[in-house]
Amino acid sequence: MRFRKSFLWLSAVSIFLASAAHAGQSLKKPDLMPWPAQIQMTGGEYRLDSSFVVKIAGHAPARLYSYADRMLRRLSGKTGLFFSQDYLSPDSAVKSPSMEIRADRPGKLKLNEDESYKLDVTPSGIMLTAKTDIGAMRGIETFLQLVQGDSAGYFVPGVRINDYPRFPWRGLMIDASRHFMPLDVIERNIDGMAAVKLNVLHWHLSDDQGFRAESQTYPLLTRLGSDGLFYTQREIKEVIKYAADRGIRVVPEFDMPAHSTSWFVGYPQYASEPGPYSVERKFGIFNPVFNPTSDNTYKFLDGFFKEMCRLFPDEYMDIGGDENNGKQWNANPQIQSFMRKHKIADDRALQTYFENRLIPILTKYHKKVVGWEEILSGQLPKTAIIQSWRGAQSLQEAARKGFRALLSKGFYVDHYMPASFYYLNDPLPDSIGLTAQQKKLVIGGEACMWSEFISPENIDSRIWPRTAAIAERLWSQDSINNVADMYRRLDGISLELESLGMTQMKNQDMMLRRLSAGLNPAPLANLVNVVVPVELYMRARTGRYTSYCPLTRVVDAAVPDPEIARHFSNMVDHLVSGGAVSGEELASIRARLLAWKSNDAALENLIASSPVLREIEPVSKRLTDAASSGLEAVDRIQRGETADTSWVNSKLSGLKQDARPAGEVGLVIISPIEKLVRFAGSR
């Protein structure tokens, strides 16, 4: 099988290269992400001009007309062309279309709906066909990514694409509880999801720090448990429609029996201790938990889910189920007596009892259950979906027991890992050890955006563009796994996402200007371009963060996978692995190092005027030290000298010290400079 996959991929590449060889510049490899299942560059191109018109054929629903109309506006904005076609509707009469879009039927917002499409681009026109309008939406995003420009104008290269997803569940979880995310944040990220073919918004709406969904049945949930920051039912309906119009499902999560402090601020009678309770300001695992032995708990939850199940139309409801420490249960004599009477062995078994009482309520309201891996038990109905957050072991266990499973372990984008880390995290690696039938139960995965250290200002920089790499892992074939090519395309996709309203680039510039107190932010930007936030749990262990701490510092502006640092690392890797040393390569590396070495002096003026920057002063000086070591290594390499062992060890020891973080950021270029030092000692 592995040989066959490799052969098919090489064949596709051969077709591509052969086409490009005789077609010229217009057939450069497009920056598509996710990469299609099948693609053939056919030669030639379709030239775009102001006469471009679109026709929707067949019996398409209104949302496809709206989607195609947005496509036209985006295309106009991208090219600057003034299209004569102003608005697409079922009444639009187009006799000679430049692009025809045909869908056989309206797609349903449900698991396993058909999202396939075919796209053919020839010099005479463009044809997009799909079995559902959702598939047509996915094809529209591919079409927009294909648009290129040259000296003659804009064009779409000749291509034949047959595309479909590898996994049916491709999600993004946004935690709106730890830090509330306003409606515009949610909606713009839905646009980003659609652009990279994600199809499930997992909306984390309750936790210890806030209850975010309006309940008219139990109004104290938000009146007392949200600090006034919540989504009204009207707003929730708006988000659901906004997502549906883009072929995206909305699955809400109401976490229980733990992570539930905010429930008990207004309704303490359903907790396992009497309270009173207040909204939790810090982050972590807390004791409050529902009382699973009281019938009143289930009457309360019945009323709540009756309302929420009507509000959220998706067939799935997420009940969380994670991180219950059991302390309230163990300290409650009534609960302990109940456990002895009913022969419930431990807290895990008591949580299973809770779930077995809760799930029939959801079933009554025609919902199936999703939950984190802690809900996995032998008594769980096979309709449930298990979401693995701790590792592949629980995902495999779920599949072996006949449950459908999602992978989130390794897709936590709040952990500041580079895109390459997420890209190579496959839900079904060769080593998974499942049968063919069990593998079918692994239905996809979700990127998880937990919000302990996230604000509406910087959330996009934590989600994008790295989540596009996760989207490709979940859509594209497993043979598409070249990291360098992923990064080549990711840079272009980041620009595409920005044009849709994502703020991952522009908000960083804004934050740096603010931190620079009106002075030139360039020296600060030079430093931020080579640092990353410290590992998430290191930040959490400080114990000083609450829901209302500032998220406006350098650590909050720094991005997890800075492009300039990555390009520098790639230059060094090419140098040390390439045999003959190129003067041009050395010159490029030297230029970077010289700029970093001199940056501290310029940054001192900013720090003197902006006290908030004082915490990163040590990192700035360490950048100078590290760059100086790199320059010494480059000098030796250029002269053809082999550095002695004592020099190498001394420099490596200094670089280890330079790697220490300050202000909760650390230099990400230490490793490539270490490679330069070792290379200088190995010639």
What positions carry a catalytic annotation? 323
What separation in angstroms does the CA of 110 have from each of 68, 134, 404?
22, 11, 15
Task: Find, among 587, 529, 593, 586, the residue nearest to 557 by Cα.
Answer: 529
Is the peptide bond preceding residue 168 cis, with omega within 30 degrees of 0?
A: no
Helices 233-244 and 183-195, axial angle in degrees (round to 10): 10
Residue 295, phi-psi category: left (phi > 0), alpha (psi -120 to 50), beta (remainder): alpha
Helices 133-146 and 483-499, axial angle in degrees (round to 10): 100
Q: How far is CA 369 from the centre of its chain?
A: 23
- Find where tokens 């072991």 sit: 393
Task: Find, among 509, 504, 528, 507, the residue nearest to 613 by Cα.
Answer: 528
H or E element, residue 38 = strand 38-47
Cβ within 8 Å of residue 490, ≥6 positions away: 33, 419, 465, 468, 469
- C-beta separation of 316 from 387 below 8 A: no
What separation in angstroms does the CA of 515 have from each of 423, 507, 551, 560, 603?
33, 12, 12, 19, 12
659 exposure class (CB count in 10 Å sphere: 0-12, 13-18, 19+): middle
Q: How far apart are CA 193 and CA 86, in angstroms?
A: 26
- C-beta separation of 443 from 404 below 8 A: yes
Residue 366, phi-psi category: left (phi > 0), alpha (psi -120 to 50), beta (remainder): left
Q: How far apart are CA 605 and CA 434, in angstroms?
A: 59
- C-beta separation of 596 from 676 below 8 A: no
Is the peptide bond preceding residue 157 cis, with omega within 30 degrees of 0?
A: no
Task: Find, among 297, 311, 236, 561, the residue nearest to 415 by Cα.
Answer: 561
How many Å from the N-terminal Cα to the C-terminal Cα in the chain?
42
- Find where tokens 């079904």 sit: 428
A 10 A CB-CB count for 227 gives 16
A 10 A CB-CB count for 490 gives 23
Q: How far apart are CA 350 and CA 345, in angstroms?
A: 8
